Each structure stands twice: as C-alpha cells, then as structure tokens.
Structure 1
C-alpha cells in the first residue's frame, strides 16, 4: 500500500514539474515572439516611409506578415492604425473574417 501511494505522489509531482516547465517555456516563447513582431513592425513602418508608393505588392505582403491575414488590405490597416488602440483593432478586424 505504501508503495502505491509513493508511486502516485511521485507521478503527481513529476506531472506538476512537467506542467510548470511547459508553461514557462510557452511564456518565454511568447515574449520572444512579441519582440520579433515589434522588430518587424518597426522595420515595416520604416520601409513604408522610404519605399515608393507604387509598390502595392510590398505593402500587401508586409500587412499580411504583420497580421497573419491575407484579407486585410493596406488601406484598411492604415485606417485601423489611426484608431485609439491599433493593435487590438487590427486583431479584432482580422478575427471577424474567421
């Protein structure tokens, strides 16, 4: 009986440690993904100022990369960027298509 209890407790402890390590890994991955998104957004915004206005392809590809949604057009995204909370607005708008 004592061996069963010890085995169950060790399984619970091992499961808890595994869950904790997994959660910490996901949080770190999310943080690094946010940093990567920020760097890309900063580069893309800089490119928008320097790239000629006739390169619609680059604008569309950049918007697609930023939002992960190919249905958003540059004009729409530019409008969403002008709102009070542009990140949330673009997320909400792209979720409306799903």
Structure 2
C-alpha cells in the first residue's frame, strides 16, 4: 500500500470537511443565528411591554443581549432601538461609545457628544489625524514591494520582508483606522437622530457623570 498516497488522500478529505464546515458556519449558521436573535428579541421586547414589574437586572441583561455588548446600559439600548434604523444605531453607538453618551433634557432623551468632544475641532483633528496615520502605516507596510519594483528585484525575494512589515505595521494601521472610524460613526449617529420613530421618556432617569 502506498502510505504517501494514503496520507495525501486523508489530508484532502480533512481539508474538504473543514471547508464544508466553514461554509456551513458562514452561510447556514449565520441564518440560524439571525433566527435565534429574532426570536429572543421578540420574546424579550414583548415581555418588557407586558411585564411592568420586570426586574431591573433582567431588563438590563436582556437589552445587552440584544445589543451584544455588556458595556451599554438598558436606557441607552432602549433609546437606540427607538430610532428608525436601530441595528445601524446600535453598531454606531458601540463604535462611537468613547465619544457619545445618552443625555436627558427635561425628560427627553437623545444621544450627544461627551463634554470633551462637543466642539467640531476636538473631533476633526482626531478623525483626520488617525486617518492619515492609517494611510501612512499602510503605505509603509508595502515599502518592501515598492523597493523591489524600483530596484528591479523579483517580488518573491522580498516576500519575507513584506510579511514582517505587515506583521509589525498592520495592527497599528488597523487600530488607527478604527480610531478614525469611531469618531465618524459617532458623528453620524448624533446627526441622524432626527429620524427616530418615537421619543422615549423615562421617569426618574438621571444623567450620570
């Protein structure tokens, strides 16, 4: 028996099974998770609407489960769900959370910038600075390839250097991009609040420092 052929065949089978599982998780599994999320959200929101004595802990955990973020408060999530595009609002709030907060004015809630970021300049310089850093780092990560082109070196000969540069600079480029994106998404969330469907007034709600 050709054991080398057997090993190669086993490797192909394992790779095929792994690829099939990945495809299932990406396409079929995703639909299943969406159905589960819908069922949970419907059940929880129905309970919130009908059970006025729902324990605050259960209320907060339920809203956090919908948002997928344990750092957000129940009042914040409840308000975001009242907007015209709640899923987008939730994503924007999670991304822009360092820059925004839920404010109360005479009992009327809205998302506003934290005091440190209320001015346009305080946000603009961060957004454009981190955006510029991203492009610089991304360009530097490709420097070995550009160097090879200028020197007439075969690209494969600098492949190792390219991997190193991406490994070192890639994470910093990603973090810079995310830092710029956080500011932008926070601005979009604050700007588009006039499209919300209804206002939520929470009695006894107070802004926390």
TM-score (norm 2): 0.36
What CA deviation, in whole Å up to 9, does each residue of 1:52-87 have, x standing for no partner?
256211110101211221111111111111212101
Unaligned runs of 5+ in 1: 1-6
Larger radius of gyration: 2
Gaps of 5+ in 2: 99-209
Structure 2: how far apart are the matches of 1:82 and 1:36?
21
Greater strand fraction, Structure 1 or Structure 2: 2
| Aligned twin of 2:34 | 34
Structure 2 partner of 1:4: none
Q: Do 2:64 and 2:77's aligned partners in 1 also have CA atoms closer than 8 Å?
A: no
In structure 1, the residue matched to 2:60 is: 60
Of 18-27 and 80-89, deviating more is 18-27
Are 2:80 and 1:84 aligned? no
Moved more, 29-38 or 45-54: 45-54
Give every structure 1 segment of 4 or more consecutive aligned residues whose post-TM-superposition deviation is greater than 6 Å. none
TM-score (normalizing by structure 1): 0.71
Tell me, yes or no, if structure 1 residue 47 matches structure 2 residue 42. Answer: no
Q: Which position in structure 2 is the counterpart of 1:3? A: none
Tell me the matched-pair count. Answer: 89
C-alpha separation in 1, matches of 2:53 and 2:75: 12
Q: Does 1:24 align with 2:33?
A: no
Higher normalized helix content (fraction of residues): 1
Deviation string for 1:8-41 (max 9, x for gaps)? Answer: xx98xx5985575244302100000000000000
